[in-house]
Every structure is written in C-alpha cells, then in structure tokens.
Structure 1
Amino acid sequence: MSRIGKRPVAIPSGVTADINDKTLSVKGPKGTLSMGLSDNVTYTVEDGAISIKPANDSKAAKAFWGMQRTLVANLVEGVTDGFTKTLVIKGVGYRAQAQGKTLKLQLGYSHDVDLPVPEGLEVKTPDQTTVEISGIDKQAVGQFAAEIRRWRKPEPYKGKGIAYRGEFIFRKEGKKK
C-alpha cells in the first residue's frame, strides 16, 4: 500500500489538467508540460485534484502507484512555481559565466568548457562561483545540473570542484609525516 499514492494531487487555481490518448497535459502560468501515462495505474481528474490508483492488484501496479503520483505532482509544481538548482564552484581560478544560450566554465583545463543550455531552461550566474539553473521540468533541471557537475566533482582533500548548494562534502585528512 502506497502512502504517497493515496493522496490526490491538488490542482491550484489557474492550472488545468487534461487526459487525452494516454497523455496527461498540465497547463499553468509558467507553461505546459505533458507526460505519458502507465497502463498499470488509472488516473482521474475531478474536484480540483488528480487521483491515481493502481489498475489491478499486481506487484507492478503497486510499484508504479507512488512513483506516478510523484511525477504528476512534479508536473503541477513545475507549471506553477518551477524548479531551481544552484551549483557552487570552489577552487582557485574556477569560474562560470552565462553568455546567452551558452554556459562558459573555466575549471583548470587547458581549454574553456562551453555547454549549450537546453531548450526550456534558464541559466544565471549571479557571481563567478554560482550557477543557478531554473525551468519548469524537474528532470531537465536536474540532468543539466548533473552534466555541469560532472566536469569537476568535489574532491575530498581540498574540497575543490562543483557542488550543489547545501551539499555536504566528506573531507579526508591528508598524508601525515
């Protein structure tokens, strides 16, 4: 029994949800998102909420139930508030700069790393060591943040690298004499 799946997803005012041809479309003030629906779960839009229930008593249907409810909740939250991830760059000479639809990173390599910003995302650099990624699709925001972080993961000895804001980096003691 899924405790997450039992709760219906509330639809705030100004947001509409429609189910057509195995697709759920959610439209709100920030844009429109859609998601393919699973056969293992039934979806109903009624009384200002989206309810998700397993289609049968199979193990697969029960496994999908809570996950699908969370994906629907992410669609609703994305079109109302949006999602933001903040990366912090630590290291001497490491810096980032947003230039239109390109993010330029200087991470100690012999060349600059130029990353094209995916469609639907917005990247801001309030200062040279902070990168803010925002958009309505939670998966796209997280994926682009992970791709940026991949270039210099935080290392445990000096703490240099690209980390999420608020992430704890386990520090190790260096070599002893």
Structure 2
Amino acid sequence: DPIDGAFWAGPPFPSSLWNSAMAGRKPGTPYVAPDVADGRLFRFASHTKPAGGPDGWGSMRLMFLQYSSDPIVFYQPSSLWRAPTWMREPPAADVSPDLRFMPVVTQFQLALDMAIALSAPSGHGHSYYAHDYIGPWLAVTAPDGWTKDDTARLMARCDKDAQHGCRNG
C-alpha cells in the first residue's frame, strides 16, 4: 500500500473520499457523526464523538475530524430547494434547535456561514481546537510505546483556542 492511513480535519463537502465514506453510513447513526460499516477503513470523530483507539482497523486507516456545526463540511448545494441531510435529523449539540429550513433563505445562510466559518467561536464551525486532533491522530498512527501519560502531556501543551497549535519547549 502506498500509505497506511490519513487524517483530515474539517474535510470540505466536495471531497470525493469524504462523500464515499458518508455514503457508507450505518442507518441510524447521526449524519454529523456517522459510523461506517465495521470501522476498519473509515472512522469519524468530533467534539462529541471520540475517535476510538488504534484497535479494529484494517490495513489502511482513514479518519475524519468534523464539528457538527462546520459549514465547510456539511454544506449541500441542493439546500437551495431541499433541507440538507443534517437538518432532517435531530439537531447536534452545537446546532440551534430553532434552525428551520426555508428554500433559498437556508442556502443564503449556509453560504454566509461558509464565508465566516473561521470566525466561529473556538471549537465550533471550522475553528478546530488543536487538542481535538490528538485522539484521531493517535487512532490513525498508533505510535509504538505511546502511553496515556504521553497523551496527557501533549494535551497539556495544546491550546484551548482554535488554530494556534501546541506549545513547543
């Protein structure tokens, strides 16, 4: 195999690989935090769904970290005339229960949300916390000799603010 795995944070909605994974979503699992088949190839993590560990993967590991309120991930062009898939399910924890579909209006709102996605409060929209990358990274890479103490040290070094990474030194 050319690669052992890959990890995407905030995958953009037109991604063919992300769409392929989403097409395999198990019935009854949330659109914004799906389970796919037996989890041997594709897995999803979010601020409300842990990545799981390194066990149970196949020979290739593909992980997506996505916040349920990220318009870059969940935009659907058909929202011009039809409610997006995620709006046809109970709202996720960081999506207002008052949000309602209105043709054309919802499309405009989602387009505006994409334009300002990085200005969302940290941990929402497309503003990913650095520490939210750690669990998915560990699930995909399974570093030899890595311990829970190593994870705790890394988590302590990573900002609680979005887009700022982890402190060195």
Structure 1 or 2: more helix by fraction: 2
The TM-score with structure 1 as length reference comes to: 0.25
Tell me the TM-score normalized by structure 2: 0.26
Of structures 1 and 2, the larger Rg is shown by 1
> Which of 1 and 2 has higher RCO (CA within 8 Å, sep 6+)?
2
**Structure with a larger share of its residues in strand:** 1
